Amino acid sequence: MRRADRLFQIIQILRRSTGPTTADALAAELEVSRRTVYRDVADLIGQRVPIAGEPGFGYVLGRDFDMPPLMLTADEIEAAVLGAQWVAGRGDPVLAQAARDLMAKITAAIPERLRPFIAQPSVGTPTNGLHTGDGLHTGDGLDITRTRAWIRSGHKMRIRYRDQDGQETERTIWPVILGYAETVRLLPAWCELRQGFRHFRTDRIVAAEFLDERYGCHPRTLRARWNRHREVQAAPRP
């Protein structure tokens, strides 16, 4: 790794960290010696990068530090390409177009030497039967674009749902997030009928009504409750 790239990577590591990052941790990720890390951090501080800390405690990047938003590495570009390919092939039409627009913006903003990593990436997503050409899964009775808007705004939905045995029920739900598995889309939500979180396959939603009623808490709060529910469900049982 070139030294300039290594200095940039140190900033990236510190920026994504939630607490102090030790020189040992930096050295391990960068595959260099601890002495090299000490020297690089000292050079960054000399260039007025607001890094606080000391050997043995760890380093923290000042919150007010700003960098050009598209100083991307080749690996970061290929990660963006992979994600955009996946969304373009599986998202609803609006999200799929947004993924294509995102890659066009990145292509226009990065240096010429990095553009081959977008035009001829070394990664790719496999094609499968999930995508029907219009952004919807076969059999979905759900407007995915509108569902995403309802998730963001914290509104309820009323759905008619068919279970694996073919039985239909009507549910009023508080949608949390749209999840994309390899063969199906899932809509985790708080179900008023069952008084608990349920995961609904969108291909089993026969019909959906988008209600004007909000569900009484911030979407971020509902997401946190769902995450706690997932943690409890995933915890090993005695």
Q: Alpha-carbon distance 28 to 4, whole Å?
A: 18
Compute the C-alpha angle 165/170/171, nearest 5°.
Answer: 110
Going by C-alpha positions, the residue among 21, 76, 28 that lies closest to residue 44 is 21
Radius of gyration of the chain (CA): 23
- Give phi and psi for 168, each to the nearest 5: -105, 140
Cut 0.85: pTM above it: no
Going by C-alpha positions, the residue among 130, 214, 144 that lies closest to residue 172 is 214
The structural domains of the chain, with segments of one domain joined by +, span 3-61, 74-119, 144-234
The CATH number of the structural domain formed by 144-234 is 2.30.30
pLDDT digits (tens, 9 = 90+) for 141-176: 788 889 999 999 999 999 999 999 999 999 999 999
25 to each of 14, 21, 41, 58, 85, how far by Cα in Å? 11, 6, 13, 9, 32
pLDDT digits (tens, 9 = 90+) for 72-90: 777 888 888 888 888 887 7
Q: Alpha-carbon distance 205 to 170, whole Å?
A: 10
Task: Considering the domain delimited by 3-61, tell me its CATH architecture.
Answer: Orthogonal Bundle (1.10)
